[in-house]
């Protein structure tokens, strides 16, 4: 009897243990079946979102970093109101890193930013929030007053324009030289600036100086103050003083300026060289006649009278020799080719007479022309021809300028 009771208790204990195992297995199966619906809620406490930096100005950027997310084909980061300010994808290890841009119209305040990871729909991959503070914009910096000088350099006693910008006011604006001497003053133009003429001190030595502009509204330089540099250059070294030109004495020779027109020839007085006229240096004037009525020289194609006389004498001598040779041959003296001494003497005397006649004729022509006269060709307006006339040598320039005469260069008028 006792053995049967012991065996029954053993079999009952075994059945109880198997019942507990089965119950535990059913609980596990039930949990596995319900996992997809309950997983986000179970892990919600593990999802986090961090921002770096956590504050800034409108338009700034920040980095959103998520951890503990279970997935996310798409991860969106939104501003309050739902505007997406950044998006990316889950990294497969529970996190993501996304760059976000703070809206440019955000006003100073603290805002809650949300990260939502979507696998199928909604935020089934996880969701987390973080705060971002939009700071109050800093005040716009006021530009510092500035002063410029134009020109920035010069010599003692020179002037320069002092121009100021970014000044806030100034009932009086004073520009001072080092030491406090006022070298210019004016008023503020109401728009932050001024332009004042300044005079550099006449006793300033060569150096670079700091010029100061001070704008006064109530006292001191409460309207602004600024400096600029000015360089004083050395004065130029004076050069040698030119000697004054001598003033001609009354009654002395007049100083006639050189004419800019073509020089006309003037007559050369007898006894001072070759007779005739000589053009001024550089002149292209046509040569005029000399005392003898012929050309004054040069290679104009005219033959001087003396050369003509020599040619005539030589021709006459040859003719005389030929004539006497013919006469001798005709008389039968046996000298048909060479004349005798008598014939040669006669021929020589004949030639000499011709030469003397030519020279005498030239001398007579020279004697016949009154002193101070020249022979020119004057235009006859009735028939349009030129005829030779004698005029005073001092009047030839006036005639040539009028154009009613031509030089008697060839000894005959055209």
Nearest CA among 189, 181, 184 for reference residue 199: 184
> Would you list the DSSP string of 369-408?
SPTTEEEEEEEETTTTEEEEEEEEGGGHHHHHHHT-EEE-
* First-to-last C-alpha distance (Å) of the chain: 193
> What distances in angstroms separate CA 147 from CA 167, 192, 213, 369, one per listed residue?
10, 11, 7, 91
The reported pLDDT for the residue numbered 400 is: 62
Q: Measuring CA to CA, how many Å separate 194 from each of 148, 178, 190? A: 11, 20, 9
Q: Is the pLDDT of residue 10 over 60?
A: no
What would the pLDDT profile of 155-178 be if each residue is shown by its tens digit?
A: 999 999 999 999 988 789 999 999
Residues in the chain: 414
User: Helices 341-368 and 305-331 meet at what angle, rounded to 10?
Assistant: 150
Q: Record the tokens describing residue 289, joined without a space.
A: 């006649």
385-392 β-sheet, strand order: 385-392, 373-380, 405-407
Question: What is the predicted pLDDT for the residue at 257?
Answer: 47
Say if residue 151 is preceded by a cis peptide, omega within 30 of 0: yes
DSSP-assigned states of every residue in 63-77: EEEEES----SEEEE
CA-CA distance, 388 to 293, in Å (whole number)?
10
- Cβ contact 323:339 at 8 Å: no
3-state helix, strand, coil in the chain (%, to 5): 25, 30, 45
Does residue 54 have a pLDDT over 80? yes
Q: What pLDDT is recorded for position 248?
A: 62
pLDDT confidence tier of residue 284, bands split at 50, 70 and 90? very low
Which of 89, 216, 198, 203 is closest to 151 using CA atoms? 198
Domains, the chain, ordered by start: 43-134 (2.60.40.1930), 146-232 (2.60.40.1930), 288-407 (no CATH)
Q: Which of 118-122, 280-284, 300-304, 375-379 has the highest mean pLDDT?
A: 118-122
Token digits of residue 327: 């006469």
**Residue pair 136/145 in contact by the 8 Å Cβ criterion:** no
What's phi and psi for 75, nearest 5 deg?
A: -120, 120
Sheet bearing 194-199, strands edge to edge? 146-150, 159-165, 194-199
pTM tops 0.75: no
Q: What is the mean pLDDT of the chain?
A: 73
**What confidence tier does 188 reach under pLDDT thresholds 50, 70, 90?**
confident
pLDDT tens for each residue of 235-247: 777 777 777 776 6
């Amino acid at each position: 009897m006792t053995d049967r009771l012991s065996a029954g208790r053993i079999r009952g204990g075994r059945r109880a243990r198997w019942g507990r195992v089965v119950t535990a297995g059913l609980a596990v199966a039930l949990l596995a079946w319900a996992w997809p619906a309950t997983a986000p809620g179970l892990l919600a406490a593990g999802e986090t979102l961090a921002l770096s930096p956590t504050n800034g100005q409108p338009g700034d950027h920040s980095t959103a970093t998520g951890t503990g997310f279970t997935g996310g084909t798409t991860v969106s980061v939104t501003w309050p109101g739902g505007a997406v300010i950044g998006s990316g994808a889950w990294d497969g290890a529970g996190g993501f890193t996304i760059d976000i841009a703070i809206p440019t119209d955000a006003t100073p305040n603290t805002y809650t930013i949300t990260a939502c990871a979507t696998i199928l729909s909604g935020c089934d991959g996880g969701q987390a929030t973080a705060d971002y503070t939009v700071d109050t914009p800093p005040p716009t910096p006021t530009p510092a007053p500035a002063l410029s000088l134009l020109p920035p350099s010069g010599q003692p006693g020179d002037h320069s324009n002092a121009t100021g910008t970014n000044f806030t006011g100034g009932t009086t604006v004073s520009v001072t030289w080092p030491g406090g001497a006022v070298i210019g003053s004016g008023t503020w133009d109401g728009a932050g600036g001024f332009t004042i003429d300044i005079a550099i001190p006449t006793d300033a030595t060569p150096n670079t100086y700091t010029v100061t502009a001070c704008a006064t509204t109530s006292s001191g330089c409460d309207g602004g103050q600024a400096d600029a540099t000015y360089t004083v250059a050395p004065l130029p070294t004076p050069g040698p003083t030119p000697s004054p030109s001598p003033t001609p004495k009354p009654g002395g020779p007049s100083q006639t300026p050189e004419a800019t027109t073509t020089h006309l020839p003037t007559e050369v007085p007898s006894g001072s060289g070759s007779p005739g006229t000589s053009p001024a240096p550089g002149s292209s004037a046509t040569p005029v006649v000399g005392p003898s009525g012929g050309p004054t020289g040069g290679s104009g194609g005219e033959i001087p009278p003396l050369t003509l006389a020599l040619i005539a004498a030589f021709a006459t001598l040859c003719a005389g020799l030929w004539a006497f040779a013919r006469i001798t041959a005709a008389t039968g003296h046996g000298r048909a080719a060479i004349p005798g001494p008598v014939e040669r003497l006669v021929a020589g005397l004949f030639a000499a007479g011709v030469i003397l006649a030519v020279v005498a004729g030239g001398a007579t022509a020279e004697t016949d022309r009154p002193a101070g006269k020249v022979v020119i060709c004057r235009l006859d307006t009735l028939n349009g021809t030129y005829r030779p006339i004698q005029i005073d040598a001092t009047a030839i320039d006036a005639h040539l300028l009028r154009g009613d005469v031509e030089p008697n260069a060839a000894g005959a008028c055209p």
